[in-house]
Amino acid sequence: MSTLRCLTLAVVVLIAAACFIVRQVSVEEIERTADSVTVTSPVKAHLLDGTTVLYPDGVTLARNILSGDGTRYDLALRQLGPAPDIPLDSVLGLETYQSGVNGPATIGVSLLATVGTIALSVAIYCATDPKCFGSCPTFYSDSAGTAVLEAEGFSYSVAPLFESRDVDRLRLRAGPTGAVRLEVRNEAYETHYLNQLELLEVLHRADEVVATDPAGRPVAVTGLQPVAAARDRAGHDLRGVLAAADGDAFRTDPRTLAAAAAGDLDDTIELAMPVPAGADSAALVFRMRNSLLNTVLLYDVMLGDAGARSLDWVANDLERVGPALQLGQWYASRMGMRIAVREAAGWREVARIRDTGPVAWKDVAAVVPVPRGDSLHVRLAFVADNWRIDRVAVGFTLRRPAVIAHALDAVIDARGVEDASALASLRAADRRYLQTVPGQRFTAVWETGPAPTDSARTFLLVSRGYYIEWIRRGWLAAPRRREPFSPTDAALAEAVARYRVVQSDLEERFAATRVPVR
């Protein structure tokens, strides 16, 4: 989550931005015997038929019926008139919008092309069993007409105070004239608030590999080689699994996952490698992504269990620095990956890699010191099965290369029309945000000029923003907890326990529920 750095920066600059920032719902829950929840903030109800209802004075959910003074709009933002009471089984999700803003403009269809109705079968499934695809904006390049997933942006930035800057290495090449094009999609049941898209260019020797460190800074490494030894907590030899980026990725041994409980939730991998004479630092280069444990933690434990109360938690607690900082510190201390080096006095933590998201592979370089001796021993520690690690390689020759920054040159909507307003929103990290809703897509274009003849070049994508998760009817209809989420090891242990039950088929279900883009 970029925790302290991002929180501190966000607190300084956070202001309602243009008409794009959306405030979450203030919820007052009536006794469960009345089977009623009153929402007092303005609400948007996204319906399965593709229409949207605005409730500027809030809404009441009583016995699975939404009622209130609402106005219904179609896909083209045409007003259809007052909304009657709506059965909860017609609702895909709820979110809020700022009061005092033009009604149709708050529905969520930005100046980008209007989208069609979300695929009905996917929508129904995700409303009732909402462990569906989601991880912020996804970025695709084009390879001979085939969309290739390149990155996912600012995963786990779940509220405005957690807005973060994410940097991802791209594998694409520029076109003949130097044009770099990425299709940006909202394939999840979320509203995305994109603040900035920027392209970084690194010129380097052909024998160097460029990746980003945990702070997003590029590292150029020469002479990458597999580690000499790698064993997990269960004692498995992982050298073959971690030797190549081939999709055959490490996952925690089932016995270690089964034994994970509060007080002992971790898996570990111990690496060893010979050290060349004179080396004082090494770069461990990972190709990795998260498992869906984080999805269970966010969807089920943080949001789903509290039902309507989760809206109050997001609206109130996560917009105050104290509670947001507490959550961020807890998450950073428990999730991600902790990297320690063995020294004469024992293991010393030297680096951390934050969670990167469960969708796209990410190349991360962790620079670690090399103690005296002829071998380097490294221990990776993380919550059991939180990571899929496709490759680990080590290099002892590294440098910090120069970076060329390219501002965004064009935004092209789904109809092929340039959108100057969207471009203005995305060129700089400021108070303007481009809002996208499920099913929307656009193309971001940078003109980088012809390729140099005397060096290779690698591109890095900078994406900055946050997202608001839609509160789906499955969470509203069946809350399991009256209290808002509290960041404790007991809550994390509960997430691990639930993940164990569903993890065998969760990845397949998750991948099958991407929202189709138009």
Give the pairing type, strands 190-204 and 375-383.
unpaired
Q: What is the pLDDT of residue 303?
A: 86
Query: Concatenated DSSP letters for 2-46?
Result: -HHHHHHHHHHH----TTT------EEEPPGGGTEEEE-S-EEEE
Report the alpha-carbon distance of residue 184 to residue 254 in Å, rounded: 36
Q: Identify the CA nearest to 39 among candidates 53, 25, 22, 54.
A: 25
Cα 259 to Cα 65, 254, 366, 458, distances in angstroms = 43, 9, 29, 42
Q: How far apart are the C-alpha atoms of 398 and 220, rounded to whole Å?
A: 6
| 3-state secondary structure (DSSP) of residue 233 | coil
**Cα 286 versus chain centre, distance:** 18
Please give the DSSP secondary-structure letter assigned to residue 320.
S
User: What gap in Å lies between CA 346 and CA 327, rounded to an integer?
Assistant: 30
The amino acid present at 255, given as its one-letter code, is R
Pairing status of strand 27-29 against strand 225-226: unpaired
Q: What is the largest CA-CA distance in the chain?
A: 77
CA distance linking residue 153 with residue 461, whole number of Å: 9
**How does pLDDT run across 461-482, given as a tens digit for each residue?**
999 999 888 888 888 877 788 7
d(CA 413, CA 396): 45
Please, are residues 465 and 209 in contact by the beta-carbon 8 Å criterion?
Answer: no
Beta partners for residue 469, in sequence order:
190
What pLDDT shows up at residue 448? 97
Q: For residue 158, what pLDDT is reported?
A: 83
| Helix, strand, coil percentages, rounded to 5, for the chain | 20, 40, 40
Q: Report, as ranges of residue numbers, the positions in the chain whose pLDDT lies below 50.
A: 1-34, 101-111, 113-116
Q: Are 191 and 468 in contact (CB under 8 A)?
A: yes
> Which pLDDT belongs to residue 117?
53
Q: How would you label 456-489 residue by residue, b for 16+ Cβ within 10 Å and e otherwise?
A: ebbbbbbbbbbbbbbbbbbbbeebeeeebbebee
Query: Coil, helix or strand for 51?
Result: coil
User: What pLDDT is attached to residue 34?
Assistant: 42
pLDDT of 318: 81
DSSP structural state of residue 418: B
What does pTM read for this prediction?
Answer: 0.86
Q: Are residues 292 and 358 in contact, defined by beta-carbon separation less than 8 angstroms?
A: yes
Strands (E), 97-250: 138-143, 146-152, 164-169, 179-185, 190-204, 208-212, 218-222, 225-226, 229-232
Where would I find the beta strands (DSSP E) of 275-345? Answer: 281-290, 337-343
Four-residue CA torsion sign, 79, 56, 101, 472: negative
Nearest alpha-carbon partner for 259 in 489, 490, 497: 497
- Which residues make Cβ contacts (< 8 Å) with residue 219, sequence separation at least 6? 210, 211, 212, 213, 283, 365, 367, 398, 399, 400, 401
Which residue type sits at 320?
R
> Residue 94's pLDDT is what?
81
Please state, in angstroms and rounded to a whole number, the distance separating the CA atoms of residues 515 and 105.
22
Count the Cβ atoms, other than its own, within 10 Å of residue 268: 17
Q: What is the 3-state secondary structure (H, E, C) of 457-497?
A: EEEEEEEEEEEEECEEHHHHHCCCCCCCCCCCHHHHHHHHH
Neighbours of 204 (CB within 10 A): 19
